[in-house]
Amino acid sequence: MKYTKHLLLPLLLLLNGCSSLEPWVKPYERAHLADPIMSFSRDPVSSAYYGHVYQVREGARGAEGGHGGGCGCN
Amino acid sequence: MAATDKEVRRIMDHCCQAMVWAGILSVVLVLLLTSLPAVSGVLPEDRADALYHSYDGGGVEVTGPSYLIRKGDNKRFSGSINYYADSITSASVDVITQGSPYNESRTQWSGSLDYMHADTTMTVSYGNSDESDYTADTYGFSISQSMFGDLTTVSLGYSYGNDDITSNVNPDLDQDAEHKNYHISLTQILTKNLLLSLNYDGVTDQGYLQNPYRNVLVLNDPLDPAAGANFNTPERYPRTRTSNAMSASFLYYLPYRASMKLFYRYYTDDWDIDAHTAQISYTHPWRDRWIFDASFRYYEQTEADFYADLFLFPDQQNFMARDKELSEFKDYTAGFGVTYNVFKQGWGHLDKATINLRYDHIWFNYDNFTDVKNGVIPPQADTYDFTADVIQLFASVWY
């Protein structure tokens, strides 16, 4: 908790400059990023299944990335 | 092992940590929402998937379908519905040593609705999971904001789950459990070939968190291990659990048309389980119609502080568990996938269609969970290990 107030001020100062930030990768430079192979979760139905396979057999849960957590199926 | 003041303080610290981070990110999001010019976001693509899944390992077979349909109005709304079913045949090591093989089924319905306004997307979701002795309802809300010319996307999410637990062998058992999940994620375009995704999930559980069918292994005579052991003492878990999980993924577009993903996750909870997960994935398109995937995943965890492979007394501790998922173990997964694009230019109302096959082989190696099927007890019994085959066959269409 004691670190929180020390974090907030620099964060707010940082945010103050956000609106003037220029995108350093222009929209016309994003052809590679738009390729389907650059998706963190190309097939949501498959990602959700992988999440379920591991969640019921491992102690860890959450932050899988690519799909939401919490299906309530412990 | 009663819950001491120290443990209570530790649980409170975990909760406070999660709330502080959620608070900070909320401030960030609100400030950005009010300070940035509107840039139009993107709703998920309209698509439908039909998947058949099969898991076979450790005496457990689970098969079933999953159907996912998503449709939007191409402007502001997009909705999805998912039906998922498991058909389970279990003769696992726990079932063999403590009961008899069984069959059961589980069905799960879930739906979500996205609403997009400028570069903000809000999502509400609901899910229901139902089996003969376990019913779960989950309600979720999340808000996602893209910013800095769509270089950055920040998402905040909250979900609440309520479970009703009964027993097929004990008609008097009627318990419940609550789950609260706080989610924060950030996706960042770093260069024209590199993406970063950071994720955090804080989860708190309260209520009946144990398995009503599983027992712990206890010596018949604590002074004479040669007298054997029994499974007459039910597991007893704490009624609260708080966990924190953080992950980072890098996705890189290689100099030729292919991509590589690196993933790492750190997990910790107040049951003393610490876990590390690492994964490397490679995706390689071939000609116009094929995409090949290969991946390797590593996972390791420490054991819960109330876990033991063998207990000396039935009342040795307040909390006692012999669930192998709470023990110290490692697992490794080698995966392979292939996608075939059916149409080159679309067909009628369909923009695209694919047929997909994924196969994963998992090795589970337990460090402190022994196989007592043959009546040999720890420390003479061998540590348990098994392998599993996981298959997914699915078809997807975009429209």
What percentage of chain B has pLDDT greater than the value 90? 83
Average pLDDT over residues B343-358: 93
Q: Is residue B27, in this structure, part of any structural domain at all?
A: yes
Q: Which of A62, A68, A72 sits opposite B163 (nearest CB)?
A: A72
Q: Is residue B69, in this structure, part of any structural domain at all?
A: no
A70 in the Ramachandran plot: left (φ > 0), alpha (ψ -120 to 50) or beta?
A: left
Put simply, the chain B residues between 52 and 71 with a CB less than 8 A from any chain A CB are 53, 55, 66, 68
Q: Is residue B343, in this structure, part of any structural domain at all?
A: yes
pLDDT at position B377:
92
Can you read off the two tokens belonging to residue B16? 């406070």
- Mean pLDDT lowest among A2-11, B169-178, B220-229: A2-11
Q: What length is written for chain A?
A: 74
The confidence band for B224, taking pLDDT boundaries of 50, 70 and 90, is: very high
pLDDT at position A68:
36
Beta partners for residue B186, in sequence order: B154, B198
- Give the whole-angstrom CA distance, residue B336 versus residue B215: 37
Backbone angles phi, psi at A60, to 5 degrees: -80, 155
* SS3 state at B73: coil
What's chain A's average pLDDT?
A: 76
CATH of the domain at B251: 2.40.160
Q: Is residue B251, in this structure, part of any structural domain at all?
A: yes
- Sorted by sequence, the CB contacts under 8 Å of residue A49 that are 6+ apart come out as B51, B53, B66, B392
Q: Residue B243: is its pLDDT beyond 90?
A: yes
Over residues B41-64, the pLDDT tens digits come to: 789 999 999 999 999 999 999 999
- Give the whole-angstrom CA distance, residue B117 versus residue A19: 19
* SS3 state at B22: helix
Average pLDDT over residues A4-23: 61
pLDDT at position B375:
87
Q: Is residue B79, in this structure, part of any structural domain at all?
A: no
Contact B159, A70 (CB under 8 A): yes
The confidence band for B98, taking pLDDT boundaries of 50, 70 and 90, is: confident
What's chain B's average pLDDT?
A: 91
What percentage of chain A has pLDDT greater than the value 90? 50
Q: Residue A1: is its pLDDT beyond 90?
A: no
Q: From the CA of B224, how many Å to the nearest CA of chain A?
A: 33
Q: Residue B120: is its pLDDT beyond 70?
A: yes
Chain B residues inside the 8 Å CB shell of A11: 24, 27-28
Q: Is residue B142, in this structure, part of any structural domain at all?
A: yes
The confidence band for B38, taking pLDDT boundaries of 50, 70 and 90, is: very low
Q: Look up the domain containing B358 and give its range.
A: 5-39+90-99+110-398
Tell if the CB–CB gap between A48 and B82 is shorter than 8 Å: yes
pLDDT at position B303:
98
Tell if the CB–CB gap between B138 and A71 is shorter than 8 Å: yes
Q: Is residue B207, in this structure, part of any structural domain at all?
A: yes
Q: Is residue B52, in this structure, part of any structural domain at all?
A: no
The confidence band for B9, taking pLDDT boundaries of 50, 70 and 90, is: low
Backbone angles phi, psi at B273, to 5 degrees: -90, 125
Output B6 or B233, whichever has higher pLDDT: B233
pLDDT at position B21:
55
Query: Angle, to 10 degrees, between the axis of helix B5-35 and the axis of helix A4-16?
Result: 10
The confidence band for B29, taking pLDDT boundaries of 50, 70 and 90, is: very low
Tell if the CB–CB gap between B27 and A68 is shorter than 8 Å: no
Beta partners for residue B174, in sequence order: B166
Return the residue in B128, B179, B184 with the most chain A beta carbons within 10 A, the one to mutate for interface testing.
B179
- DSSP codes of every residue in B163-232: EEEE-SS-TT-EEEEEEEEEEEEEEEEEETTEEEEEEEEEEEEEE--S-TT-EEEEESSTT-GGG-EEEE
pLDDT at position A3:
55
The confidence band for B1, taking pLDDT boundaries of 50, 70 and 90, is: very low
- Mean pLDDT lowest among A19-23, A49-53, B42-46: A19-23
Tell if the CB–CB gap between B253 and A40 is shorter than 8 Å: no
Contact B250, B224 (CB under 8 A): no
Tell if the CB–CB gap between A64 and B199 is shorter than 8 Å: yes
**ipTM rounded to 2 decimals:** 0.88
Contact B18, B29 (CB under 8 A): no
Q: Residue B34: is its pLDDT beyond 90?
A: no
Domains contained in chain B, number:
1
Examine residue B285 and say whether the peptide bond preceding it is cis (omega within 30 degrees of 0): no
Average pLDDT over residues B340-367: 95
Chain B residues inside the 8 Å CB shell of A53: 55, 390
